[in-house]
Amino acid sequence: MKSYVLITGASQGFGKALALEFASRKMNLILLALPDSGLPQLSNFIKLNMNVDVRYLELDLSLVENCYAVKNYIRDNNLQIQYLVNNAGVLSRGFFDALEDDFVLKQIAVNITAPTLLIKLLLPNIKTIDNAAILNISSMASFFALPKKQVYGATKAYLTSFSKSLAKELKRDNISVTTICPGGLNTTTRLCYQNRILSWIPRKSVLNPEDAAKVAVNAMLKRKPLVVPGFINKLLLALDKLLPEFVKDKLSNREINKFPETNVI
């Protein structure tokens, strides 16, 4: 039976870079994203050019029933998942009181509920293969208190914490759980623009999705529990433990006040 890597949020950005990275290592793919996001074309391109099997599912992961639909699709098609990559995420920037209620709920559903439930539902399948792995895409935001990223950062803090605990539990089943916490990634046009106008140190910490995808897949295959890609990101993490709170407040406020008052990126 062929085994597959299931990647959520694979239509663009980091998820697409991960799909190409796995395909370049000759791994078969099941790609997930919202309808009309170009998944059929991407799947076809990878299938034709990279000589791997590619399947896709277009559904909204903010709806719990669609997580069950993924499980049913895997079961009905008799597919084996070797690697599960929880990448789909809703990013945001904006003051909490200005965020729409529906948006906040969707962000929590996609960033927290969907990865948790997908792991729960697919675990019985994953357990049936040797050396299986789960790769969860979190963020550096999971470590810091960031104004204008309060809900996003908290969803990622959940994912990092959940993954670290789960990694310990699933060792019994020889399943590794790797969490990657990137800083800025040049994924969407808007992020590319915002990343260019950051001050020197944060700007230097930004990575291209292709480079971060390599780091993520290597870490997953080496069964590392947590990876922070890029030297500057590791440095920022270490500095965060040393700097007093008032200095951190000054730094984050200065950085964040540079951006226009847009809520959603």
Ligand X SMILES: NC(=O)c1ccc[n+]([C@@H]2O[C@H](COP(=O)([O-])OP(=O)(O)OC[C@H]3O[C@@H](n4cnc5c(N)ncnc54)[C@H](OP(=O)(O)O)[C@@H]3O)[C@@H](O)[C@H]2O)c1
Considering only residues 7, 27, 33, 54, which one is a binding residue for ligand X as defined by CB under 6 A?
A: 33
Check binding of 185 to ligand X (CB under 6 A). Answer: yes
**Alpha carbon distance 85, 95 (integer Å):** 30
Q: Which of 29, 61, 167, 175 binds ligand X (CB under 6 A)?
A: 61
Residues 160/142, Cβ–Cβ less than 8 Å: yes
- The answer to the question of residue 191 lying near ligand X (CB under 6 A) is yes
Strand duo 133-137 + 80-86: pairing: parallel
Alpha carbons within 13 angstroms on the beta-carbon side of residue 22 total 29
The pair of structure tokens assigned to 163 is 């993954």
Contact call for residue 15 and ligand X (CB under 6 A): yes
**Residues in the chain, total:** 265
Binding ligand X (rule: CB under 6 A), the pick from 3, 50, 53, 60 is: 60
Does 94 participate in binding ligand X (rule CB under 6 A)? no
182 binds ligand X per the rule CB under 6 A: yes
Q: Which of residues 110-169 bind ligand X (CB under 6 A)?
A: 110, 137, 139
Query: Positive or negative CA dihedral for 152, 155, 161, 164?
Result: negative
In the complex with ligand X, which residue's Cβ is closer, 105 or 247?
Answer: 105
12 binds ligand X, rule: CB under 6 A: yes
- Per-residue tokens: 137: 């895409």
Residue type at 97 in one-letter notation: D
Q: Is 90 in the site for ligand X (CB under 6 A)?
A: yes
Residues that bind ligand X (CB under 6 A): 9-15, 33-34, 37, 60-62, 87-91, 110, 137, 139, 182, 184-185, 187-188, 191
